[in-house]
Amino acid sequence: MRALRTLLIIAVVLGGLFTIADRLAVAAAESEAADRIQARQGLSATPDVSIRGFPFLTQVMGGELDQVDVAMTGVEATAGSRTVRLGELTAELRGVRLENGYARAVAASATGTARISYEELRKASDHDVTLGYGGNGKLQVTGGIELLGRTVTRSVLSTVSVVDGDTLRVRADKVPGEGIPGVEELVRERTDFDRQVKGFPAGLRIQKVEAAPDGLQISVTGQNVVLAG
């Protein structure tokens, strides 16, 4: 019985040491991954990286991590010829393969969310317009047009959609024509626009977009997403 008790105590101690070593290793790996992501994306702030699953060391030995969660701010994307800053980008990456001696990490699949403020979206428009939340998932676009020798301000409710996984399309649902030929065309020249958005981590594409009170809420998804390297 004494020998059995001794073996149990040794097993508990070794298990505790392994757990400590595993947690120290995962903390070091998260810090290293955050630095590499920051460098790859050109971020001003260090992202938050969480490696899920236990034990971590056996995942590393197998060359694949079950799940890695990333939250980053300051991601800059190009919309047409203009640069817009994302409020925050969070991503859940699964099946993260460690390649090239752990220098490169590629996720088999990923899902996430991002946000673009209305002020940043306004910068992507070709015209001087004001953008805001119009309620019920709609975007309110306000701009001025020249009508009968004077500038008239018009507001429309618009739907935002995704085209080809990388382009935001803004289209007015209805434009008041006021019975004057050409008014609708003039308004749409100000309020309707398409903007291709680039700058997400390689492999991520826009799946869905919806207007919300604090900006455009964007859902992203992807396969073979390059996390680092």
pLDDT given for residue 126 in this prediction: 66
- Strands 76-79, 193-198: pairing is antiparallel
pLDDT given for residue 52 in this prediction: 87
pLDDT given for residue 9 in this prediction: 46
**Could you please report the per-residue DSSP string of the chain?**
-HHHHHHHHHHHHHHHHHHHHHHHHHHHHHHHHHHHHHHHHT-SSPPEEEEESS-HHHHHHHTEEEEEEEEE---EEEETTEEEE-S-EEEEEEEEEEETTTTEEEEEEEEEEEEE-HHHHHHTSSS-EEEEEEETTEEEEEEEEEETTEEEEEEEEEEEEEETTTEEEEEES----TT-TTHHHHHHHHH-EEEEEE-SSTTEEEEEEEEETTEEEEEEEEEEEEEE-
pLDDT given for residue 178 in this prediction: 59
pLDDT given for residue 187 in this prediction: 80
Contact 155, 182 (CB under 8 A): no
pLDDT given for residue 45 in this prediction: 81
Contact 44, 63 (CB under 8 A): no
What are the pLDDT tens digits along the chain (229 aa)?
Answer: 544 444 444 444 444 445 666 677 788 888 888 888 888 777 778 888 888 877 877 888 888 889 999 998 877 777 666 777 777 889 999 998 888 876 788 899 999 998 888 888 887 776 678 888 999 999 898 877 776 666 767 788 999 999 998 888 889 898 876 566 777 787 888 888 888 888 788 888 999 999 999 899 999 999 998 876 6
pLDDT given for residue 80 in this prediction: 64
pLDDT given for residue 14 in this prediction: 43
pLDDT given for residue 20 in this prediction: 67
User: Which tokens belong to 159?
Assistant: 């739907």
Give buried/exposed letters for 9-35 (b at 16+ CB in 10 A, else e). eeeeeeeeeeeeebeeebeebbeebbe
pLDDT given for residue 142 in this prediction: 84
